[in-house]
Every structure is written in structure tokens, then in C-alpha cells.
């Protein structure tokens, strides 16, 4: 399982998800922790894209819409 987590404009660093039992997985006991963290980042990225798609469908600004860069309330 490998996923490219860069945004289309390549502004975010490239991350790869690797199964813990894969030869490409980092050695050591932390490989499962690293994989779990990468999967969590991938899930957040997917959810963000879905929110953007829904916002576009209803002509609303999404959380990642460059036109909606207003300061957020504290």
C-alpha cells in the first residue's frame, strides 16, 4: 500500500505509506507507529479533499479554498 500525499501544486512534502511487513518499511520497532501516523495523515488529507469537493458542489468556500483565506475567529 503506497499513497502519494503531495497536493497537486506540490506544496506539501511527499509522504509514502508502507505496510509494516513490507521490505520498504523502516527497520525497527517504530515501523508500525510510523505507518499508523502516515495512515492518519492520509485519512486527514482524503477528508479534506472530500470537504473541498462538497463545498464546490454547493458553491461554498472549502477549508482549503485559496479565496477563503480570512483570519479565523480565536
Handedness of CA 63, 6, 39, 28 (dihedral sign): negative
Q: Alpha-carbon distance 14 to 71, whole Å? A: 27
What is the total count of domains within the chain? 1
Model pTM greater than 0.85?
no
Range of the domain at 67: 1-74
Distances (CA, A) of 57 to 5, 42, 52, 62: 23, 23, 9, 10
- Confidence band, pLDDT 50/70/90 cuts, at residue 1: very low
pLDDT by residue (tens digit) across 31-69? Answer: 566 677 788 888 888 888 888 888 888 887 766 666 656
Helix (H) or strand (E) holding 54: helix 31-57
Q: Which of 48, 65, 47 is nearest to 56 (CA)?
A: 65
Amino acid at each position: 500500500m503506497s499513497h502519494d500525499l503531495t497536493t497537486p501544486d506540490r506544496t506539501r512534502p511527499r509522504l509514502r505509506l508502507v505496510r509494516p511487513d513490507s521490505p520498504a518499511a523502516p527497520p525497527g520497532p517504530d515501523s508500525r507507529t510510523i505507518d499508523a501516523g502516515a495512515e492518519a495523515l492520509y485519512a486527514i488529507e482524503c477528508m479534506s479533499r472530500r470537504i473541498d469537493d462538497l463545498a464546490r458542489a454547493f458553491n461554498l468556500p472549502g477549508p482549503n479554498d485559496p479565496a477563503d483565506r480570512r483570519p479565523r475567529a480565536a
